[in-house]
Structure 1
Amino acid sequence: MTPTRPDIDPELRALLADMPLSSELNPELLAQIRQIPSPPVETLLEGRAVDRREATVARPDGVRLPLSILSPQRAGRAAAAPCVYWLHGGGMVMGDRFSQIDIPLDWLDRFGAVVVTAEYRLAPEATGTTLVDDCYHGLLWTAEHAAELGIDPTRIIVAGISAGGGLAAGVTLMARDLGTPAIAAQVLICPMLDHRNTTTSSRQYSGEPGVWTREMNEFGWRCVLGDLRGADVPGYVSPATAEDLSGLPATYIDAGTAEVFRDEDVAYATRIWAAGGQAELHVWAGGCHGFDALFPHTRVSAAARRTRSNWLTRVLAALPTGERHVVATSTAP
């Protein structure tokens, strides 16, 4: 029996009808999806005045992870720019650093931001803290090279969507605990925050084809966690389990009413408020998972993108160049 649940926005529903949706994800289907080539990033950069640079970050285990730095072309020497450190979605099992890149490219156009988009290793080949550690080391590299990249190190924004939103939350917690680098804000777009998969919204979007279902979510988390179970799951991996959400930078969280992650995202914002922090939360009526990445020109998607950008405008305006967001520090490893 179909559970009672919020319906998907009619405009989105019509577009989803033309997509080959599934209710589950398994190793065989994942292998097929990974063989589908990503749209060339050059198409998205066409017509934009963007300089592109490639770099790699060396990890302690010898793996070198690519970063792409997309900067607005400037005449002469301009003031240091804000930076968006972007983490892509894909359930932590698929995607690459150019996935959903049109979202931060809008901020490059609007704010003159330098976009640094990071590759991280995917599950199930990588498990545990490897994914979030990869993302953190990319962020450290970005902060350490701020001057040569034309970045203001006091205006670094960590942002991500879906799995990337969960990783962005984990990276921000890690930066807080390690005391570096300073993060001015985090933008968590329909973030994947909780491995427990027990919320009402998780149960509502189960058993039928969708963009991301409860069954898909269980598969993605099994791939990430490997042998980790229960209390062994670090908050950096599954941020909803982090005991302390104090000392975080300004946070933006959004989700749709018609998606698995709705309730865990609302709970995360609520816990930030309870810890004395600032979080802006938007839950878009009828929004399915990743709706504004999939269908950016629908009415609800345009509203979501506009609202998100307006929030960033306010945050950046309130953070003058040279003002550093202070995060709590500890000697945590």
Structure 2
Amino acid sequence: MDLDKLDWRDDLKWSHPQLETMYGQMGGDIGYASVGLNDKLSDEERKKWADDTNEQLNALIPPMDPEYTRYFDVHGCPEEPDAPVFKLTVSIPKKPRTKRKNSAILIIPGGGLCLCMGATSPTEVFANRYGVPVATFEYRTVIDAPYPAALNDCFAAFLCLQEHAEELNINPDKIVLHGNSSGGHLSLALPHRLKKHGITCRGSVVWAPIIDDRPMYYSSKVESVFWGNGSAALSARQYLGDLCGSSHVPPEAMPGRATPEECVGLSPVFIHAMTEDTGLSAALHYCDTLSHAGVYNECHAWGGTNHLALSMNSLYGDLDNDESDYTKAFQAVLDHEFEDLFRYDLRRPWVKDMVEGTEADAE
């Protein structure tokens, strides 16, 4: 059998029957490879594509209620204190989960690192579903600047949310990271940066992350017009520059590169990988690495879904349809994971203590 013929996964025959509509939509071409990640085009052309695409996709998001929306200016992080200022948008729940200090969710948008796709970060939907404040922002994409610009913006947004914890009635030690696709990548990368500063977030819940620049896994060959190995390779090259493919890529740039030693002491991780996606194998490998390092983690590989079909169906599909039980099962797992992070501290400081104790004894 010619396995190369199995690489393309756009045909609906690969989809779960209940995901055919969304699978088909997520198999369409929105211009990642031809425009957004095409560095032969001018920055102006690429930015226009990003703005136009975001405008179309944002039509999916219900209008935000100004009474329950807050905005804060974000002014850089320790690594880049003079970074361009941007806005942090926070949705306040209409029915808070508790009157005490709440948890909070920081959603990092997806979009192949060339687009901050607002449709992947509907803060008001999450705020009212979980009863906690939910924040998001637009980071610099590869059209603006390479690594570490996007990660610096993520760190700055996290620090800003902590800074305004009192007025938002949140516990700064209970911030959960969430992201889809490249937002998932950055939601797994940020804890490595936080660790350098002695900070651990409450945990990360991610969908379909792309976390390794090396095409070394079976799933690395999976291709799609919407998003596959070709687009992932372009994105990684533009994000990492000369680092791409080298032995010097740090875990805060590509978490899939992390060793168990580099993962010790990280916050809990919940990954939802998609079987017809180029990022599947790297996600599974990362969870294995986290387990070796003693980090609390869960990994779910959902069948019959390409890069975003199941996750986007959970946001915009018909969840009231009795026949959509596959999406409902996915949503139920997500609800359980967020509830676990809100209720329990699943971080494992004793692992770090054991490692540091061993090093001290060795000295």
Contact 1:183 1:325 in 2 (8 A): no
Answering whether residue 139 of structure 2 is matched by residue 120 of structure 1, we say yes
Q: Percent identity?
A: 22
Q: Deviations over 1:74-123 (max 9, x none)?
A: 69x93221100110100111124x33123x54442233111011221000
- Alpha-carbon distance change, 200 to 153 in structure 1, aligned in 2, over 3 angstroms: same
Among candidates 338, 343, 349, match of residue 312 of structure 1: 338
Give the Cα separation in 2 of the matches to 1:9 and 1:159: 25
Distance 1:74 1:309 in 2: 17
The one of 295, 303, 311 equivalent to 2:329 is 303
- Which residue in 1 is equivalent to 2:6? 3
Relative to structure 1, is the Cα distance of residues 294 and 188 closer, same or farther in structure 2, using a 3 angstrom cutoff? closer
Within-5 A mapping of 1:19-34: 21-22=28-29, 25-26=32-33, 28=35, 31=46, 33-34=49-50
| Residue 45 of structure 1: how far off its partner (Å) | 4.6
Which residue number in structure 2 is paired with residue 64 of structure 1?
A: 85
Q: Which has the higher helix share?
A: 2
Q: Deviations over 1:213-235 (max 9, x none)?
A: 11011111122112323123221
Q: Which residue of 2 aligns with 1:227?
A: 242
Distance 2:20 2:202 in 1: 36
Of 63, 68, 83, the match for 1:51:
68
TM-score (norm 2): 0.78
1:100 counterpart letter in structure 2: T
SS in 2 for 1:69: strand
Aligned mates of 2:198, 2:95 — CA distance in 1: 32
Equivalences for 1:119-268 in 2 at 5 Å? 119-180=138-199, 182-203=200-221, 205-206=222-223, 209-229=224-244, 230-243=246-259, 244-268=262-286
Contact 1:83 / 1:114 at 8 angstroms: preserved in 2? yes
The one-letter amino acid paired with 1:314 is: D
Instruction: From the superposition, tell whether residues 41 and 175 of structure 1 become closer, same or farther in structure 2 (CA, over 3 Å).
Output: farther
Greater C-alpha radius of gyration: 2
- Give the deviation of 1:140 after TM superposition: 1.0
**8 Å Cα contact 2:185-2:210 kept in structure 1:** yes
- How big is the shift at 1:24? 7.8
Indicate the SS of the match to 1:295: helix
Distance (whole Å) between structure 2 residues aligned to residue 199 and residue 324 of structure 1 = 29
More deviation, 119-128/19-28 = 19-28
CA contact (8 A) 1:24 1:215 kept: no
Query: Corresponding residue for 1:276?
Result: 294
Q: CA offset at residue 240 of structure 1?
A: 1.0
**Aligned partners of 2:26 and 2:126: how far apart in 1?**
28
1:289 aligned partner: 307
- What's the offset of the Cα at 1:285? 1.1
Shift of the 173–283 alpha-carbon distance from structure 1 to 2, 3 Å rule, reads: same
By how many angstroms is 1:200 displaced?
Answer: 0.6
SS of residue paired to 1:2: helix
Q: 1:19 to 1:312 in 2, by over 3 A?
A: closer
Question: SS state of the match for residue 108, structure 1?
Answer: helix
- CA pair 325-71 structure 1, distance change in 2 beyond 3 A: farther
How big is each residue's C-alpha offset from its partner over 1:4-50, in whole Å with a ceiling of 9 and x where there is no partner? 7882223323444456724984463553642231445795256x796
Which residue matches 2:102? 81
> Aligned partners of 2:338 and 2:67: how far apart in 1?
21
Q: CA 1:283 to 1:49, structure 2 compared with 1: closer, same or farther past 3 Å?
A: farther
- Stretches of structure 2 lacking an aligned partner (at least 5 in a row): 38-45, 318-323, 357-363
CA contact (8 A) 1:56 1:64 kept: yes
The alignment partner of 1:179 has SS state of coil
Counterparts of 2:239 and 2:73, CA distance in 1 = 23
> For 1:161-217, what per-residue CA distance to the aligned partner results, in whole angstroms no more than 9, with x for missing partners?
11011111111111122113x4111112111111113211121x23xx443111011
RMSD over aligned Cα, in angstroms? 3.0
| Greater shift in the superposed pair: 25-34 or 156-165 | 25-34
Q: Is the 8 A contact 1:123 1:224 kept in 2?
A: yes
Contact 2:269 2:296 in 1 (8 A): yes
Q: Quote how far apart the aligned CAs of 1:305 are.
A: 1.9
> In structure 2, how many angstroms separate the alpha carbons of the residues matched to 1:238 and 1:67?
24
Q: Secondary structure at the match of 2:243?
A: coil
Q: Given that residues 23 and 216 in structure 1 are in contact (C-alpha distance below 8 angstroms), is that contact kept between their aligned partners in structure 2? A: no
CA contact (8 A) 1:114 1:151 kept: yes
Distance change (3 Å), C-alpha of 1:82 and 1:325: farther
Distance 1:112 1:260, change over 3 A: same
Deviation at 1:325, TM superposition (A): 7.6
Amino acid at match of 2:277: E
Q: Where does the alignment leave 5 or more consecutive residues of structure 1 unmatched?
A: none
- Contact 2:22 2:309 (8 Å CA) reproduced: no
